[in-house]
Structure 1
């Protein structure tokens, strides 16, 4: 198995959905792309500064009580339903499907995440290592309007339409209709990771074969030296994915 933290220019890191770590409680089902909590594998400690991608489904009326974080950039991408956020800095509100929240834990912050609705909710929680420790905590939440067939910027320090974190990172979300194709956007940083939210895609030119297929929950890490990785093709009606550019 290829180590997920490898930065070799020729390395292509494939993380099949069914091989992710799996946690189940009576109110939470979580799939971990990288080592997390009680799941530890030295081969899967992250990809560059990208340390955590948790695909969480939280039951109605349940959630995470107050708990602490420090020196971490935490991004929550709401996929289905809604989640009530409250933190020790006085921030509170409801994160709904289509919203993205960023929280710089910095010197320390306490927060809770509760699904107060009558329906389960699904989200991706992402942790990225900041460039510096001991920063002042920060919080931001935005509604990200997703337009089919377009890369929508979520994080980008050089784009005023996107949010920024304490690390040079770009993040896009893409919804692509069945049968449609699109080229990768111009990434400013040397490493990239694709995380499938829903649907099926193929990527041309990434292996000796003509296409590499990715499905719901799959992840793919690569180095931008692979100039032949140039196009994504949707083979599903509900293709939805994230693309990270990692500095």
Structure 2
């Protein structure tokens, strides 16, 4: 099953400094048919104005992955962690037993990012934060593992049975990924693609389940993020 969630159908919140699209129910957006996808609970497509951001607020027992699409985001938290994550790079926060954090766009340009929440498999663990650069040229026409619950070399660690991948594909290119029909996959591209022959547009959500293989064909140059979760 491949279900396309058109960008225009996503939840929408505008807060002046923040223009957010919600793939799943979040905040003031509630859709009983879109409460999550497997263990994926949140996928927000955020546009953050320059010199603004999310003030300190708490989280617990959630794996929060931030993929920066343009600009940069600056993180600080109650554990004393601080860092700046720029376009193409990834940060992960395991909220665990509880953490307070803030995310600011301290740049002179708009920052765009995906924030993805995955349900943890280890509630109550000590919270943690980390970030890592992932040069886009390393994932040209292939899926690069960005975060994983399998303690993979080169990927950020999360406490969940999930894997987060990134890829860039040139127009006309195709990549293939072996899939487990029992698992849940969710994909968001920056441009037009076909997934197993089904067309999706820029920033549409592609929910995949029951497939044994995922073939992604780029109809234009695209950057994409794919999550594989239980």
TM-score category, normalised to shorter length: over 0.9
CA 144–188 in structure 1, closer or farther in 2 if over 3 Å, else same: farther
Unaligned runs of 5+ in 1: 1-10, 205-210
For the aligned residue pairs, the C-alpha RMSD in angstroms reads 1.6
Shift of residue 189 of structure 1?
8.0
Aligned residue number for residue 234 of structure 1: 218
Q: How does 1:80-229 map to 2 (within 5 A)?
A: 80-146=70-136, 147-156=139-148, 157=150, 159-184=152-177, 186-187=178-179, 190-204=182-196, 211-223=197-209, 225-227=210-212, 229=213
> What is the TM-score normalised by the length of structure 2?
0.93
| Higher alpha-carbon Rg | 1
Contact residue 195 and residue 217 of structure 1 kept, 8 A: no
SS at match of 1:18: helix
CA deviation profile, 1:135-175 (whole Å, cap 9, x unmatched): 11011100012231111111231521212211111111110
Unaligned runs of 5+ in 2: none
Shift of residue 187 of structure 1?
4.4
Higher strand share: 2
CA deviation profile, 1:54-76 (whole Å, cap 9, x unmatched): 00000011111111111111000
CA deviation profile, 1:72-117 (whole Å, cap 9, x unmatched): 1100001100111110000001111121000011111011111111
For the residues of structure 2 that align with 1:126 and 1:50, how far apart are their CA atoms? 8
CA 57–169 in structure 1, closer or farther in 2 if over 3 Å, else same: same
Q: How does 1:42-61 map to 2 (within 5 A)?
A: 42-61=32-51
> What is the TM-score normalised by the length of structure 1?
0.87
Contact residue 190 and residue 245 of structure 1 kept, 8 A: no
